[in-house]
Amino acid sequence: MEQFMLIFHGGSDDAQQRSPEAMQANMAKWMAWIEKLEKSGKYVSGEPLLPGGKIVSGSNGSVVTDGPFTEGKEVVGGFFIIKAKDMNEAVAICKDYPDFQTGGTIQVRQVMNVNEMVGK
The domains of the chain, with CATH numbers, are: 2-117 (3.30.70.1060)
- Report pLDDT for 120: 63
Mean pLDDT of 106-113: 95
Residue 17: pLDDT band with limits 50, 70, 90: low
- Report pLDDT for 106: 96
- Report pLDDT for 10: 82
Please tell me which residue, 69 or 7, carries the higher pLDDT value. 7
Q: What is the pTM of this model?
A: 0.83
Q: What is the average pLDDT score of the chain?
A: 88
* Torsion, CA 39, CA 44, CA 50, CA 56, rounded to 10: -170
Q: Identify the weakest region by mean pLDDT among 8-12, 77-81, 91-95.
A: 8-12
Exposure of 114 by Cβ count < 10 A (0-12 exposed, 13-18 middle, 19+ buried)? Answer: exposed
- Report pLDDT for 1: 92
- Report pLDDT for 14: 55
Residue 6 clears pLDDT 90, i.e. is over it: yes
How many CB atoms sit inside 10 A of residue 26's CB? 18
